[in-house]
Amino acid sequence: MLSATMLLSLGIGCHHELETARINDILGNIDANTGDPQVGWDTDEFLTDISEATLIMSSVVKNDGLAPGGFNFDAKLRRESTDVEDLFIAHISGMDTMARGLRNVAKLIEDGSLDELVRKRYQSFDTEIGAMIEAGKGDFETLEKKVLEWGEPTVPSGKQELAEMLFQSAL
């Protein structure tokens, strides 16, 4: 199985990597640390960013959980944190942040607005040509014929600001 830390070493954001692993059915565990992208990411600090935790837990929910792995909450004494109580607090904070992320995912699912926005954004993937492309059967020659037949496509708005607003409203 692939861990999130291994994926993060590629230099791409956590949620993107978790979704890539999930879609490819290789998401098995998550190293629940965060860190600093400027120093190589994994600095064994616990996640306290509720927004990132919500995205992470969204991937976990879509994955129907984590199996055979789970969350790896590990930490080391670092910086000014020099006693066992600091580690205890760090674990509580990290687990609480993930729990808050999970609650936010439940709100988003219950509301359904963000899922509907995403469904509408990618509804062309459900058309005959969209399905053909997704199945890897749409070669350039076929696609060129379709473009010449249909003319220049109208590109609808991705509604990015609305998506961000809907996501943030759950936090």
Band the pLDDT of 106: cuts 50, 70, 90. Answer: very high
- Tracing tokens 């998550």 back to the chain, one arrives at 30
pTM: 0.81
Hey, is 2 helix, strand or coil? Answer: strand
- Dmax (CA) for the chain in angstroms is 70
Hey, is 49 helix, strand or coil? Answer: coil
| Cβ–Cβ < 8 Å for 21, 5 | no
When the pLDDT of each residue in the chain is averaged and rounded to a whole number, the result is 85
User: For residue 7, how many other CB atoms are within 10 A of its CB?
Assistant: 21
Q: What is the pLDDT of residues 66-93, one digit of tens each?
A: 988 899 887 667 667 778 888 888 889 9
Q: What is the pLDDT averaged over residues 22-36?
A: 86
CA atoms within 13 A on the CB side of 111: 17
Q: What is the pLDDT of residue 2?
A: 43
Band the pLDDT of 59: cuts 50, 70, 90. Answer: very high
Rg (CA), the chain: 20
Q: What is the pLDDT of residues 153-169, one digit of tens each?
A: 888 899 999 999 999 99
The DSSP 8-state label assigned to residue 12 in this structure reads: S
At CA 61, angle to CA 57 and CA 63, rounded to 5?
A: 115
Q: What is the pLDDT of residues 130-145, one digit of tens each?
A: 888 888 888 899 889 9
| Cβ–Cβ < 8 Å for 160, 118 | no
Band the pLDDT of 8: cuts 50, 70, 90. Answer: very low
Alpha-carbon distance values, 167 to 15, 34, 108, 112, 146 (Å): 14, 21, 7, 11, 36
